[in-house]
Amino acid sequence: MATAATASATAATRFTRLAGVGLRRTARLPTAVRFQRRVLATTALLRTAELRPKEQGLPETLDYRVFLVDGGGRKVSPWHDVPLRAGDGVFHFVVEIPKESSAKMEVATDESFTPIKQDTKKGNLRYYPYNINWNYGLFPQTWEDPTLANTDVEGAFGDNDPVDVVEIGERRANIGDVLKVKPLAALAMIDEGELDWKIVAISLDDPKASLVNDVDDVEKHFPGTLTAIRDWFRDYKIPDGICSEGHRRNQRIMGEIGEKEYPCWRALTSLILSMRSHQILLVIYLSMLFS
The domains found in the chain, sorted by start residue, are 47-254 (3.90.80.10)
Average pLDDT, the chain: 76
Q: Taking residues 53-60, report their average pLDDT.
A: 98
The pLDDT assigned to 264 comes to: 52
More confident residue, 231 or 28: 231
Secondary structure of the chain as H, E, C letters:
CHHHHHHHHHHHHHHHHHHCCCCCCCCCCCHHHHHCCCCCCCHHHCCHHHCEEEEECCCCCCCCEEEEECCCCCEECCCCCCCCEEECCEEEEEEEECCCEEECEEECCCCCCCCEEECEECCEECEEEEEECCEEEECCCCCCCCCCEECCCCCEEECCCCCEEEECCCCCCCCCCEEEEEEEEEEEEEECCEEEEEEEEEECCCCCHHHCCCHHHHHHHCCCHHHHHHHHHHHCCHHHCCCEEEEEEECCHHHHHHHHHHHHHHHHHHHHHHHHHHHHHHHHHHHHHHC
Q: Is the pLDDT of residue 163 over 70?
A: yes
Structure confidence at residue 160 as a pLDDT band (50, 70, 90)? confident
Catalytic residue among 64, 127, 128, 130: 128
Quick check: is 285 catalytic?
Answer: no
Q: Is the pLDDT of residue 207 over 80?
A: yes
pLDDT per residue as tens digits for the range 80-135: 999 999 999 899 999 999 999 999 999 999 899 999 999 999 999 999 999 999 99
